[in-house]
Amino acid sequence: MIWQPINLTEVCPSQTTLTACSPLGYIYLNLLVQLYGGSRYKRLETDDKEPDDDKEPDDAKDEYDFIVVGAGSAGCVVANRLSNNTNWKVLLLEEGPEQPDITLAPGFSTALLGSNILMSYTTEPNGKSCLARPEGRCSWTRGRVMGGSSSVNSMSYIRGNRVDYDGWAALGNDGWSYKDVLPFFKKSERNEDIEFLDRRYHGVTGEQYVSSYSYVDKPSLMATKGFIEIGLPLVDFNGPQQEGASQAQAFANSGERVSTNTAFIQPIIYKRKNLTVKRNSEGIQIHFDKNKKACGITYMQNEKKLTAFARKEVIVSAGTINSPKLLMLSGIGPRNHLEKLNIPIIQDLAVGENLQDHVSFSGVTFTLSNKTATTVSEEEVLQSVKDYVEMKIKRGPLSGNGPLSTIGFIKTDKDLIAPDIQYHFGHISDLEEYVDDVLTAEQVPIFPTPFYDALLLRMMNLVPKSRGVLLLNESNPLGSPLLYPNYLGDESDIIPLLKGMKFILSLENTEAFRSNGAHLVRKVLPACKDYEWGTDEYFICMVRAYTVTTYHYAGTCKMGPKWDKKAVLDNQLRVYGVCGLRVIDSSMMPVVTRGNTNAPSIMIGERGVDFIIKYWRDNNKAYCVEAH
């Protein structure tokens, strides 16, 4: 399969003057397809043929000990650890294709948006958020490729705060305190910067590379210095203290992205004969025997409906959106909802509830002076694309991710036990175009992240009180589910964002920003034209009108003790009321962690699969978990 970028003809308005919609945009994307559209890994290992993808199952002989559904941030870890036991036969199903080369260059991360290795969704309106967007709906995406969202995200390595995990344990989830999970963070981690870090908090022998970017530009360093000037200490976010600022480490090595596919699956796929990977294979129904034991799965591959069988367990690692979808299609979910869809009920559980995300918003920008901006000519952009592919050791701007690694965490109240706001910066390749048409510009941010003339400030509420829900689409249950994130449903979620905004505006007055000619753009955006820029009323309008996701979806298959009627999973991630079925991904989070969710998802994979390995070491019969 060849990577296909966003179709500019479909998304660009007819009268737009955006550079992304000009001939340069088409030339640039076409060049990316030519140079990076395939997979060098696939070419080297399989002579351009993906193994097993077209292999027809041999009826009942297509049987495995474990079936893992979803090769994303957690699923790749689970499949790797299970297949390490040569006595166990493991099947890994992935809805998307092999990871294309376009994903490897950090600077191309925005070019992935709208492409064929992502699934795009729109949320359902609630009248309180996303108000400036078409029909009041925000855009959501997730990875649909080997490695899942770890192959397409912005790569920041943030674990969350220790109080997040201690909070999970306090809710009745034994084995999930910070002390319990730290060894599993370290187990996966191969940190290339360990000489600068506290070894008590980091691992160096795992499969998952973590390092600083090999290229950090001047505006990024300026922003970090600005944070320090206004009182934030320089910290390792994954060490003893989260509150502070730094250039975050990334899931990268030697100037390239390292997804969980790169780290955990590609090195073993042809060495372990007991591991079968089926790409382009979407799980659509888990099967249960008369004792309610998960015994197999039906999946779609190349428009064919196929079935595989599991002797021991089915593990669902399809993510916060697809894991609850698959459970509900299989009869595990809210009784009233499934009855409307005529889906036979296996177990009545609160699947799809407890949906969470770190709400944020667009529109606050810092312009950069000519001496600080990193913009280059059209010819130089295209030349940088050609140069990167030819480098044996990846260096230069495209080996970095522009300002995206510049991160700060603050407490908006000194009495808080942990930060409640996270800051990060996006790039704006042409500020004038952006402020003239924010909504269209955000649809086509295709140019490399290292080349820009303005910073887009993003802050996120790390502790949202609002909770949403995910439901199957009654008109097409197999299609995109209905997403109700309910952003700002609890109006108190605005308070940390307002406090965080007052703090961050002072960056403009720092020596770091003044000496580099960086200052706030005080242009009132159209949806908030009735308010004065800089007032609380203006920023409240901005939050409600220009709401955006931070792609930190979590919680739709909640882990909790038996007495928690909203819990779907027990503390070993086993589904209540059935046998031989677990969910291992970020959908298990009772409360979303403070920060980016990729690192926690990898840890969840490690923690979850450890439960599996220890169970089958001591037992030879599938477990069953009592219903509520």
CA distance 197 to 220: 21
CA distance 146 to 93: 10
Residue 358 catalytic? no
**DSSP one-letter string for 372-397:** T-----HHHHHHHHHHHHH-SS--SG
Residue 480, Cβ density class (10 Å: 0-12 exposed, 13-18 middle, ≥19 buried): middle
**DSSP one-letter string for 255-286:** TEE--HIIIIITTTTTT-TTEEEE-SEEEEEE
Catalytic residue among 287, 519, 552, 628: 552
Strand bridging mode 406-410 / 118-122: unpaired
438 and 521 Cβ atoms separated by less than 8 Å? no
**DSSP one-letter string for 49-60:** --TTTTPPP-GG
Q: Of 24, 15, 110, 132, which Cα lies nearest the Cα of 544? A: 132
Q: Of 624, 89, 82, which Cα lies nearest the Cα of 317? A: 82
H/E stretch holding 207: none
Place of tokens 């993906």: 50
CA distance 349 to 566: 7
- SS3 at position 319: helix
68 bridge partner residues: 92, 315
Centre a 10 Å sphere on the Cβ of residue 56 and count the other Cβ atoms it contains: 9
Any known ligand binding at 145? yes
Strands (E), 81-165: 90-93, 118-122, 139-143
Backbone Cα Rg of the chain: 23
Angle 536-545/494-504 helices, nearest 10 degrees?
A: 120
Burial code (b: 16+ CB inside 10 Å, e: under 16) for 406-428 equals bbbbbbbeeeeebbbbbbbbbbb
For 378, residues 6+ apart whose C-beta sits below 8 A from its C-beta are 24
263 and 182 Cβ atoms separated by less than 8 Å? no
CA distance 204 to 123: 40
585 and 592 Cβ atoms separated by less than 8 Å? no
- Phi, psi (deg, nearest 5) at residue 181: -90, -20
Centre a 10 Å sphere on the Cβ of residue 444 and count the other Cβ atoms it contains: 22
For 494, residues 6+ apart whose C-beta sits below 8 A from its C-beta are 488, 540, 543
**DSSP one-letter string for 160-198:** --HHHHHHHHHTT-TT-SHHHHHHHHHHHEEETTGGGS-
Binding-site members for FAD are 145
User: Known catalytic residues?
Assistant: 552
Binding-site members are 145
